[in-house]
Homo-oligomer: A and B are copies of this chain.
Amino acid sequence: MTRRFALMIDPAASDDVRADFADTFTLVDAAAPALSVGELSTQRGDGVFESIGVVDGHAQEVVPHLERLAHSAALCDLPLPNRAQWHQAIERAAEHCEAGEYVIKLILSRGVEHGPTPTAWATAAPASDFTAVRERGIRVVTLDRGYDLDVAANASWLLLGAKTLSYAVNMAALREAHRRGADDAIFLSRDGFVLEAPTASLILRLDDRFVTPAPNGGILHGTTQLSVYEYLTDRGLAAEYARVPASDLSRADAAWLVSSVRLAAPITAVDGVELPVDHALTADLNRYLLSPRD
């Protein structure tokens, strides 16, 4: 078994009604050339993606990830992914994941310039070790995302609800956070509301309720946030979507950035102001997020 794995997926077969998509997959060497320089993913960041956590060979939250991939594809006018085909690709990738934590990435690109079809592939690779981060927590800074909270409502071409390959701003925000001595960033809308992190969703605890910024088209709907909300509501806790003013950050009783691979990272400080950390709940959340989930 190789530690890194990559599979090209032929999306032209996606209209077929069939049970087995094995012949639409081509195993490639993850370190060797596999994509042409004409790829629009590489030239224009033109495509959509998902990152799926894998724990001891079990790919987590596969259905919500495939739903979001389809949602992103629709927002980008890409052909809808065939879920059965992608599901099998994920299964194939998961077979190559050994014990411990891995990450499977799904990429659906617009394809080669002037080409007939999208290009698609899935990869699997060992995840970074986030054990210490999940316990110790992260320091974050707030960064202006430049948009008002309501901008997505009348400007679908800004693709704000899509998880596109155009992540240069997200990566730049992380570098800016590191420059400021923090581990991560939280984007604020121009008009002062909390949005999301560059690669994670935010959950706050305010008194006895949990709050996350409403995914109103302006931000992604986090699959891990959905899982956490299921966990909390199953325990009778109040978990809500809301407009979250930036001032709520410093008065939170606890806060987390949650994402598919790092899972629940407790926030220890926002813009240099310390936040209380709920170590017990954080440990519970990560235990839950590391258990097999579909």
Contacts and interface: CB of A to CB of B under 8 A. Distances in A.
Contacts of A30: 36-38
A31 B36 contact: yes
B143 A172 contact: no
Interface string A25-48: 000101111111111111111110
> Chain A at the B interface: mostly helix, strand, loop or mixed?
mixed
A215 to B, nearest CB: 17
B171 A37 contact: no
Residue of A34, A123, A157, A164 with highest tally of chain B CB at under 10 A: A157
A34 B157 CA distance: 31
B45 A35 contact: no
A107 interface: yes
A71 interface: no
**Total copies of this chain within the assembly:** 2
A2 interface: no
Contact of A35 (B33, B105, B169): B33
A63 interface: no
Contact of A42 (B41, B77, B168, B169): B41
A107 B175 CA distance: 21
Given A143-B157, A144-B158, 19 more contacts: A33-B33, A35-B36, A35-B37, A37-B123, A41-B42, A42-B165, A44-B165, A44-B170, A44-B171, A46-B168, A110-B171, A146-B147, A146-B155, A146-B158, A147-B147, A147-B190, A157-B175, A158-B172, A166-B167
24 contacts: A6-B37, A32-B33, A35-B35, A35-B36, A41-B42, A41-B45, A42-B165, A44-B170, A44-B171, A45-B45, A45-B164, A45-B166, A143-B157, A144-B158, A146-B158, A151-B190, A157-B169, A157-B173, A157-B176, A159-B169, A159-B172, A162-B168, A165-B166, A166-B167
